[in-house]
Chain A
C-alpha cells in the first residue's frame, strides 16, 4: 500500500504541472486585454504609452506567457502566489480567508446530500415503479433541474422576507458578536439548496446502482439462505452498489474547496466560488491561478481517496 501511495504521489507531480501549465496558457491566450479589466478603458485612454507599458510591467503582462508561467511556478513553490490585481491582501491571504467558509458550506451540503440522496435512491430502488418511486423521482429531478439561482431567490423571498425565519444573506449577522448558532442559521439556505441538488443527482445514481445489484445472483442466494431483508439490503446489496457512488461522490470532493459560484454569490457566502467568480470577471490571473492550484490539488487528493474507498468497499480490490 505504501508503495502505491508513493507511486501515486510521484505521478501527481507531472499531472499537477500539466494542469497548471494548461490552465495558465488558456487564461493567457484568452482574447482580450487584461489591462482593460484592471484599469478601465477610459483610464487607459488617458494614459501615456510609457505609463501603459509600466502598468503592463507592474502586472507582469509584458512577457510571453510561458516565461510568466515559469516565474509564477518558481514563486508558487516558495509559497508566494503574488497579489491580485487590486486590494491589500495577497492571493494566499485571500485563499486562507475563503477556506473555512467554503469547507463549512460545501461540507454541510455534502453531508446533507449523502443523508438525503442515498437513502432516497435505495427506497426508490426497493419500491421500483411504485407511486413512491415516481414521486421521489419527480422530486429528485426537480432538485437537479431547477436552477440554483431561482431556488435561491425563491428561498430568500419565502423564508427570509415573508416568513422571516432565516437571515437573508451573508455568513454572520452584521454588527452582532460571533456565534455558532448565528452561522448555522445563515448556513441553512445555501447548504440546503446545494445539498438538495446533489441529493437529486446521487439519488438517481443510487437507485440504478441498487437495482442492478438487487437482481444479482448473490442477492438472490442471500435471500434463499433465509437472511433478513434488512441484512440482505445493507450488507449484501448496498455495499456492492457503493462502487459507482464512490466515484460520483469523490468526483464532487474538489467542489469542497472549489466552492459553488452561483449559490455563494446569491447568498453572499464568502467562499472560494465567489472569489473565483470575481477573479474571472476582472481577469485577475494571479487569483485565478491561486484558485486553480487549490482545485487541482483537491482533484488529485479526491482521486486518491476514491481509490482507497474502492479497496474498502470491494475486498477484491488490492493495491499491493
Chain B
C-alpha cells in the first residue's frame, strides 16, 4: 500500500473513532469534591496494639458520576416564549368541517375550541358553551353560549356561527359527505343530511347566545357526544358565508387566514414543515400564555431527537418502546393517562365455521386461555390495564364483574365444551398500524398453540381490510378474530349503534363483517342480538338523570361481561412526553377519555424560563 492510501485509511479510521467516541460519551466526567464522610481509619494507639475505629474526617471523595436530580417544576405561570409541539404525518386536511384524521384535529386545537370539554368525572367544563339543559320530557335541549367571545379577527362570536358550523358539517353538498353519529335524533337532521331540506327543522337560534334543539326521541347521549369536545366546531359565518359548502374543503381560506376563537391564531403553514400560530389577542380568557406556538412536522424518531435537543416541547403519542430510554433524561417528563375509553379488543367473525364463535363459552374459553396480564407487563411495559367487560374501569362497570384471569385449564375446558374442534386453525388478524396492537397477534397465537390448537396470524393493509373481512379479494379467507381498538369513548351510549341490532341508529349501513346469506343478500355484520340489552340501551339513551343512567349501563355491562359480544383484551395508557420547561399540561384530562386527538386547553400551557 502506498503512502497516500495509508493516509486516507488512517484518517478514515480516526474520524470513525472520534465520531463513535463522541456518540457514546454520555457519562459525565468524574468530579473531586470535599465532603465530611464517615471513614474507617487505622490508628496506632500503642506501638504493640493496632486497632480500627470509626471517625469523621474531611477527605477528598472522587465522585464518578453526579447523581441525577430532577429540578422541581416552577409554580408561577409565566407569559411569553415559544411552544413547540410535534405533529406527525403533516396536516393532511386543513378544512375544519372535513377533519377525519387525528393529526388535523390536533393541528386545529390551538385555534378552535369546543363548546364543552367532557371531564373524566363525566362533568362538562364550559368553554365556548356556558350551559346545556334538557327539558323535563327530554325532547328539547337548550344551549347557552359564552357571552363576549370574539373571533380572532375581532368579530363577535354568535349562535349563528355555531348553527352555520352544523350546516357546513352535514351539508349534503359537502365533499365528501359527513357521517352522522351523534345528532341523529335531532328533528329534521336526517332529511337535511339526505338533501331533502335546506335547513334543519329541529335547530332554532333563539338569540345571539341561545340555540334550541328539538328531538324526535329522547337522547341523553347528545350531552357528551354532540355538545362535548368531539362535537361540532362553530365556523365564522362572516368569513365563510360566501363559500359554497361543496367547495369548502378546497377553499384557500383554511391555509391563508382561518379565523378561530382559540387562544392562538393562525400565522402560516409551511407544507410538511410546520404550522405557526401566535397569541390571539381577542381570546376570551386572558391567562398569560406563550407568544408563539409551532406545530412541527416530522417522523417519530426524529421528533424524539428534537425533544432531547430541546427543539420540541410535547410529543403525543409516544411509542412505548421509547419510554424506558427517555425516563432517565432529566429534561424530559413522561406523561401517562389511564385509558378508560378504549381497549384493544377482538372482533369475532360471526360466520366462521357455521358460527362457531357465537357461543359465549367459546369466547370465555379464549379469554381464560391467553395471559393478558403478561401482555400488559411485557408489550405495554405495565402502561395498561387488563379489561374484563365493556365498561371496565368506568363508573358504568358491572358491580359483580367476572374476571377472566389467565387460567389455561379452564380455558381449554370451555373451548372443548363449546365444541371448538381440535383441528381448528384459530386465526388472528389486524391491519397495519399501532405496534402494541399488532403485538397481541403472535402472543394470542402462542397461547392458543399451547392449548393444542393450530393458529395463524395475518396483517392486512388498511385499504384491504374491508375486502378481507367480507371474504373478497385474493387474500380473503375464513378468519376468526380481528384485533382492533374499541371502547365506550366519551359516552356510555356511544357503542349502541355498533352493538344493538334494534338501535334506531343507522346500524344497517355498517360494513363489517359481512358474508352473503343464502339469498345472496348481505347479512348484518353483528348477529349478536339480546332483547334485554337492546331494551337497556334504549333506556340508557332516554334517561338523562346521571345516577339512573349509570345503573342502566351497569346492567348492560353485567350482560356484556357474561356474553361478551365484543372481546376485550387490555387498555393501553395514553403516553406522551414533554420537555420540563413546558408547564400547564393536564394530560390526565387531555387523554383519559380518549380525547388525545384534541389538545386540552393549550391556552393554559406556558414555558418556564
* Across-interface contacts of B9 in A (CB, < 8 A): 131-132, 135
Contact status of A31 and B464, CB under 8 A, knowing A278-B90, A282-B92:
yes
| Distance in angstroms between the alpha carbons of A132 and B306 in the assembled complex | 39
Distance to closest chain B CB from A127 (angstroms): 7
| Distance in angstroms between the alpha carbons of A168 and B273 in the assembled complex | 12
A46 touches B296 (CB 8 A): no
Contact status of A31 and B473, CB under 8 A, knowing A40-B100, A282-B92:
yes
B6 touches A131 (CB 8 A): yes
B271 touches A51 (CB 8 A): no
Task: Kindly state the interface size class of chain A when it binds its partner.
Answer: 35 or more
Distance to closest chain B CB from A148 (angstroms): 13
B94 touches A168 (CB 8 A): no
| Distance in angstroms between the alpha carbons of A245 and B133 in the assembled complex | 77
With beta carbons under 8 angstroms apart, the residue of B93, B271, B305 that contacts A270 is: B271
Contact status of A268 and B92, CB under 8 A, knowing A50-B194, A86-B249, A135-B9:
no
With beta carbons under 8 angstroms apart, the residue of A44, A89, A160, A266 that contacts B299 is: A266
B506 touches A88 (CB 8 A): no
- Chain B residues in contact with chain A, CB under 8 A? 1-2, 4-6, 8-9, 12, 19, 22-23, 25, 82, 84, 89-90, 92-95, 98, 100-101, 172, 175-177, 179-181, 193-194, 249-255, 270-274, 276, 292, 294, 296-299, 301-302, 305-306, 308-309, 311, 461-467, 473-475, 497, 505-506, 509-512
Please provide the 9 A-B residue pairs with the shortest distance between their CB atoms, ordered closest to farther: A131-B1, A132-B5, A32-B463, A55-B176, A46-B179, A86-B93, A32-B464, A58-B175, A270-B272
Q: Which among A18-26, A150-158, A310-318 touches the partner chain?
A: A150-158
Distance to closest chain B CB from A146 (angstroms): 13
B509 touches A268 (CB 8 A): no
A175 touches B305 (CB 8 A): no
B463 touches A157 (CB 8 A): no
B100 touches A131 (CB 8 A): no
B294 touches A170 (CB 8 A): no
- A230 at interface by CB-CB < 8 Å: no
- A39 at interface by CB-CB < 8 Å: yes
Distance to closest chain A CB from B204 (angstroms): 25
* Across-interface contacts of A171 in B (CB, < 8 A): 273
B177 touches A54 (CB 8 A): yes
With beta carbons under 8 angstroms apart, the residue of A52, A135, A169 that contacts B306 is: A169
* Across-interface contacts of A41 in B (CB, < 8 A): 462, 465-466, 511-512
A33 touches B467 (CB 8 A): yes
Contact status of A172 and B251, CB under 8 A, knowing A36-B465, A132-B8:
no
Distance to closest chain A CB from B251 (angstroms): 6
Contact status of A157 and B23, CB under 8 A, knowing A51-B179, A268-B302, A270-B273:
yes
* Across-interface contacts of B4 in A (CB, < 8 A): 132
With beta carbons under 8 angstroms apart, the residue of B1, B272, B510 that contacts A268 is: B272
* Across-interface contacts of A38 in B (CB, < 8 A): 176
Residue of A39, A52, A169 with highest tally of chain B CB at under 10 A: A169
B19 touches A158 (CB 8 A): yes
Contact status of A48 and B509, CB under 8 A, knowing A31-B467, A31-B473, A38-B176:
yes
Distance to closest chain B CB from A263 (angstroms): 12
A36 touches B466 (CB 8 A): yes
With beta carbons under 8 angstroms apart, the residue of A36, A89, A139, A158 that contacts B12 is: A139
With beta carbons under 8 angstroms apart, the residue of A36, A83, A132 that contacts B2 is: A132
For this complex, 29 residue pairs linking A to B, each with C-beta atoms less than 8 Å apart, are: A31-B474, A32-B463, A32-B464, A38-B176, A41-B465, A44-B179, A45-B509, A46-B179, A46-B180, A46-B497, A47-B177, A48-B506, A50-B194, A54-B172, A54-B177, A86-B93, A87-B93, A87-B94, A88-B249, A88-B252, A131-B2, A131-B5, A132-B1, A135-B9, A170-B296, A171-B273, A268-B273, A270-B271, A282-B92
B95 touches A88 (CB 8 A): yes
CB nearest neighbor in B for A56? B176
A36 touches B180 (CB 8 A): no
CB nearest neighbor in B for A155? B19
| Distance in angstroms between the alpha carbons of A268 and B303 in the assembled complex | 10
B82 touches A175 (CB 8 A): yes
| Distance in angstroms between the alpha carbons of A172 and B297 in the assembled complex | 12
* Across-interface contacts of B251 in A (CB, < 8 A): 88
A46 touches B181 (CB 8 A): yes
With beta carbons under 8 angstroms apart, the residue of A158, A265, A270 that contacts B22 is: A158
A158 touches B23 (CB 8 A): yes
* Across-interface contacts of A162 in B (CB, < 8 A): 22-23, 25
A55 touches B177 (CB 8 A): yes
B250 touches A36 (CB 8 A): no
- A72 at interface by CB-CB < 8 Å: no
- A164 at interface by CB-CB < 8 Å: yes
| Distance in angstroms between the alpha carbons of A174 and B306 in the assembled complex | 12
| Distance in angstroms between the alpha carbons of A36 and B100 in the assembled complex | 12
B23 touches A283 (CB 8 A): no
| Distance in angstroms between the alpha carbons of A278 and B272 in the assembled complex | 11
| Distance in angstroms between the alpha carbons of A47 and B180 in the assembled complex | 7
| Distance in angstroms between the alpha carbons of A191 and B497 in the assembled complex | 52
CB within 8 Å of B: which A131-148 residues? 131-132, 135, 139
CB nearest neighbor in A for B252? A88
* Across-interface contacts of A130 in B (CB, < 8 A): 1-2, 5
A83 touches B273 (CB 8 A): no
| Distance in angstroms between the alpha carbons of A169 and B298 in the assembled complex | 8
CB nearest neighbor in A for B461? A32
CB nearest neighbor in B for A98? B271
Distance to closest chain B CB from A275 (angstroms): 8
| Distance in angstroms between the alpha carbons of A37 and B95 in the assembled complex | 18
With beta carbons under 8 angstroms apart, the residue of B2, B274, B298, B463 that contacts A33 is: B463
Contact status of A47 and B462, CB under 8 A, knowing A156-B302, A270-B272:
no
* Across-interface contacts of A50 in B (CB, < 8 A): 194
| Distance in angstroms between the alpha carbons of A10 and B8 in the assembled complex | 51
With beta carbons under 8 angstroms apart, the residue of B23, B100, B309, B509 that contacts A49 is: B509
Residue of B95, B179, B466, B497 with highest tally of chain A CB at under 10 A: B179
CB nearest neighbor in A for B273? A170
A89 touches B93 (CB 8 A): no
A168 touches B305 (CB 8 A): yes
Contact status of A161 and B296, CB under 8 A, knowing A34-B463, A135-B5, A270-B271:
no
Distance to closest chain A CB from B91 (angstroms): 8
Contact status of A268 and B506, CB under 8 A, knowing A46-B180, A58-B176, A172-B273:
no
- A69 at interface by CB-CB < 8 Å: no
Contact status of A87 and B92, CB under 8 A, knowing A37-B463, A58-B175, A174-B294:
yes
| Distance in angstroms between the alpha carbons of A174 and B270 in the assembled complex | 10
| Distance in angstroms between the alpha carbons of A135 and B296 in the assembled complex | 41
* Across-interface contacts of B305 in A (CB, < 8 A): 156-157, 160-161, 168
With beta carbons under 8 angstroms apart, the residue of B23, B181, B272, B292 that contacts A274 is: B272
